[in-house]
Amino acid sequence: MTDALAQSSNQLRAPLVKTLKELARQGDDLAKQADSADRATLEQDKQKLDAITAQFKQTSALAIPLNKQGILLGLYKRSLVDWEGRIRNQYQAELKSLLARLAVLGVILVVVMGLAELWRRTILRYVHDTRRRHHFLLLRRIVLWVSIAIIIALAFANELGSVVTFAGLLTAGVALALQSVILSVAGYFFLIGRFGLRVGDRVQIAGVTGEVVEIGLVRLHLMELGGDGVDTPSGRVVAFPNSVVFQSNAGLFKQIPGTNFVWHEITLTLCPDSDYSAVEERVHEAVEAAFSDYREEMERQHRQMQRTLTCATVSTLRPRGRLHLTSSGLQVVIRFPVDLKHAAEIDNRLTRELLKALDREPAFTAVGSGTPTVKLRTDLSTSATRG
């Protein structure tokens, strides 16, 4: 554009310069004729010279600005050429710097990926538990991608202070917007701890009893259990955010690792004139007869509880009976552990043994009817650990 403007200026100036040269030649010719001319001729030459001078001044007034314009355009062109050269040099320097950064970044990423692959192979070789292996691999993946993001951000940051400020503001905004999600992610690492949850565990959360079917990074899902027994599926799946572990009013209960039992309770009320020693003896015999086939399994679970809860005193898992004198009669309370797989069977067997024992001569009469009133109650929380 500068060259085009300069060419246009030269085209305008060329005829003016030609005219000035012609006027200067005519003036020289008149000056030479003045030496040999007479007075009349001199007078004519003087008039011609005045006309040439006036025309010369007029033409010069047009040619001089155009000449100045040409000089300025030349200066502008040299400045633009200098700028272009500096920009080209700066571009080449920046390109070399970028290529160098990319090369260093590539080397660092290769090293990080190599360390991550070594970490993965170490986990697969030395961690044999499937659940722990999954957790370690998940942690490795999170650390890997966070490290890659930080390395890339630092590699292309010219001013580290600005990056830190921007990252701080961005982190504060994300933390405020995703407060529940971040809390759920933090809760995930609590759920996978030593006394955390596993798929298949029986838990009670916010009054809902169920079996864990999935533990996600943000939510956990339970297959709700209910109906006529504690192990009967209701047909519904309940989802809870992992942040429930931080809610004091939610109440998270789970079976102690390696155990699968709950406590049941039978309550019956007999006439006040019943022989309490005979009642206690018969009830004890009935409970022992019903519990004999499951004693070995309860002892195994008791040993597992002792190994798990090394710093706690764990009482034996055996039936316990209590007699109470109430205003309505002699109340017998029997509390006994049952394996969840055979809960209904144990309840039925104990009830039958108890009824047979009370019907033996001399028979005992229940208050209000000719047969004992039996009440079953399930208490899951007494055999669980609370999160």
Q: What is the DSSP string of 117-186?
A: HHHHHHHHHH---HHHHHHHHHHHHHHHHHHHHHHHHHHT-S-HHHHHHHHHHHHHHHHHHTHHHHHHHH
The answer to whether the CB of 203 falls within 8 A of the CB of 254 is yes
Q: How far is CA 55 from CA 43, 161, 212, 313, in A?
A: 19, 70, 108, 125
Q: Which of 25-39, 119-133, 219-233 has the highest mean pLDDT?
A: 119-133
Cα torsion 55, 56, 57, 60: sign: positive
The answer to whether the CB of 246 falls within 8 A of the CB of 180 is no
Q: Calculate Rg over the CA atoms of the chain.
A: 51
For the chain, what's the residue count? 387
Coil, strand or helix at 19: helix
Q: Is the pLDDT of residue 162 over 70?
A: no
Q: Which amino acid is at 53?
A: T
Number of neighbours of residue 382 by Cβ within 10 angstroms:
12
Question: 113: part of which helix (H) or strand (E)?
Answer: helix 39-126
Q: Is the pLDDT of residue 32 over 80?
A: no
Phi/psi at 159 (5° precision): -125, 105
Mean pLDDT, rounded, for 147-161: 74
pLDDT digits (tens, 9 = 90+) for 7-21: 888 888 888 888 878
* Domain with residues 191-255, CATH architecture: Roll (2.30)
Alpha carbons 331 and 368: distance in angstroms, whole number:
13
Q: Where are the alpha helices (DSSP H) in 261-342?
A: 276-291, 295-308
Confidence label for 374 from pLDDT (cuts 50, 70 and 90)? very low
206 contact partners, CB below 8 Å, separation of at least 6: 240, 244, 250, 251
* Domain with residues 261-386, CATH architecture: 2-Layer Sandwich (3.30)
Q: Is the pLDDT of residue 343 over 60?
A: yes
Coil, strand or helix at 332: strand
Confidence label for 218 from pLDDT (cuts 50, 70 and 90)? confident
Quote the tokens at residue 121: 């192979």
Confidence label for 367 from pLDDT (cuts 50, 70 and 90)? low
Q: What is the pTM of this model?
A: 0.46
Rounded to 5°, the CA angle 143-219-227 comes to: 150
Mean pLDDT over all residues of the chain? 78
Nearest to 238 by CA among 268, 269, 203, 272: 203
